[in-house]
């Protein structure tokens, strides 16, 4: 059975999650997903990335929703709070990942809907994100009523180094 959980600043032993989340990110990058990293990026660098996000969580600057099956994380998404005093109402959704063998089961949609609830509880009224144009995630956000702002050519490299366009989205929470 797949169950869903939230990590916030009250959670202890957050660091335990850096390796399993890094493994999810590693698999996504190796599958060609544009997630900020390249095919040759070592697992240790991805673990360092998650350590830094988990440190943000411990300081109340981010939240994480994750899915697990038999106590093994199989999906994750990050809600990163904006730090500037004039943007306290805004948060960025990042690193939505579902393990390859668990994709297409509704886990991604459920992670996003729980993250939206967490954003409301944190009094965020505007969510932003970007994703590779024409990816699975691109159509997922459109189906979940995110507003498509537009597309920027050659914005980011896919894991093999080829420059690809990125689409930018926002969602207002009323």
Of 40-48, 120-128, 131-139, 149-157, which part binds ligand COA (CB under 6 A)? Answer: 131-139
Residue 128 binding ligand COA, by CB under 6 A: no
Q: Where are the beta strands (DSSP E) in the chain?
A: 2-7, 62-69, 72-81, 90-98, 126-132, 147-157, 163-172
**Helix residue ranges per DSSP H, 39-165:** 43-58, 107-121, 136-143
Closer residue to ligand COA in complex, CB, 27/58: 27
49-76 in b/e form (b: 16+ CB < 10 A) is bbbebbebbbeeebbbbbbbeeeebbbb
In the set 17, 79, 137, 169, which binds ligand COA (CB under 6 A)? Answer: 137
Nearest approach in angstroms of CB 68 to ligand COA is 14
The interface with ligand COA within residues 95-124 (CB under 6 A) comprises 96-98, 103-109
Task: Tell whether the torsion through CA atoms of 11, 104, 167 and 28 is positive or negative.
Answer: positive
The residue of the chain with the least Cβ separation from ligand COA equals 108
C-alpha 34/C-alpha 3 separation (Å) is: 26
Residue 78 binding ligand COA, by CB under 6 A: no
Nearest approach in angstroms of CB 56 to ligand COA is 18
List residues near ligand COA by CB under 6 A.
28, 33, 35, 96-98, 103-109, 131, 135-137, 140, 143
């Amino acid at each position: 059975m797949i169950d869903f959980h939230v990590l916030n600043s009250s959670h202890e032993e957050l660091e335990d999650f850096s390796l399993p989340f890094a493994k999810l990110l590693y698999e996504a990058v190796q599958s060609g997903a544009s997630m900020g990293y390249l095919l040759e990026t070592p697992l240790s660098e991805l673990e360092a990335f998650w350590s830094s996000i988990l440190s943000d969580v411990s300081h109340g600057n981010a939240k994480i929703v994750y899915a697990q099956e038999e106590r093994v994380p199989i999906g994750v998404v990050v809600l990163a709070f904006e730090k500037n005093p004039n943007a306290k109402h805004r948060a960025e959704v990042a690193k939505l990942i579902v393990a390859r063998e668990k994709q297409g089961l509704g886990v991604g949609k459920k992670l996003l809907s729980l993250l939206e609830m967490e954003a409301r509880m944190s009094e965020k009224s505007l969510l932003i994100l970007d994703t590779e144009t024409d990816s699975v995630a691109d159509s997922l956000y459109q189906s979940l009523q995110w507003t498509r702002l537009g597309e920027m050519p050659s914005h980011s490299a896919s894991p093999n180094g080829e420059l690809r366009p990125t689409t930018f989205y926002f969602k207002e929470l009323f």
